[in-house]
Amino acid sequence: MYQPPHFREDRREVQHALIATHSLGLLITAGPGGLQANAIPFLIDAAASANGTLRAHLARANPQLRELTAVDECLVVFQGPRTYVSPSLYPTKQETGKVVPTWNYITVHAWGHPQVMDDAAWLRTQVDDLTRHKEAPRVAPWQVADAPEPFVAAQLKGIVGLEIPVARIEGKWKVSQNRNAADRAGVARGLRGEGDEADAMAALVAERMNSAL
């Protein structure tokens, strides 16, 4: 990915935190069937390999499964908050007019060799772990065990597991670091109150601005 130095995020714990929070990744393969991409929910196991191991499952009927058994490498893209940034948010607009629109965003790209896991016990652990992870914030979390066991067993037969020990991982936090302090403050102030993603981006811009002080 295009990585200007001021946007790089190389801290592994920060990269993994984005994956844990925004866990619906875009799984991309370039195999015999050509380019394919599917949105798949992932878990990251930080301790399983040097850069962490991604775990997921997909439908047995998904044609990308055949591609995963044929390729040496796949790519998974995770995206956090992203939002349009208007030039009107920069004080520089009033001073010189030399500003243009842009987008702010945070993203993690992870590459690795996919390993298909066609094992009922592995799959049950995976769906239990994924469910606990996503249901944890709820007042009354749903559990896989809440469903009838024969129904769960039948559902597991329709999916296949996936492990990707991450060989390479890159993070990019494009949150106005290339602007001067006044413009960054203007972005943080201007995005606040514009909606969930804009509010999240405002917090990210302010956080990076404060950490640079």
With beta carbons less than 8 A apart as the criterion, state whether 160 and 57 touch: yes
Fold of 5-82+102-178: Pnp Oxidase; Chain A (2.30.110)
Confidence band of 213 (pLDDT split at 50, 70, 90): very low
Per-residue pLDDT tens digits for 63-76: 999 999 999 999 99
For 141-190, the pLDDT digits (tens) are: 999 999 999 999 999 999 999 999 999 999 999 999 999 999 999 999 99
pLDDT (0 to 100) of residue 208: 87
CA nearest to 71, candidates 101, 110, 38, 112 = 112
Its pTM stands at: 0.93
CA dihedral 197, 195, 24, 178 (to 10 degrees): -10
Does 34 have pLDDT greater than 90? yes
pLDDT of residue 203: 95
Q: What percent of the chain has pLDDT over 70?
A: 99
Does the pLDDT at position 195 exceed 90?
Answer: no
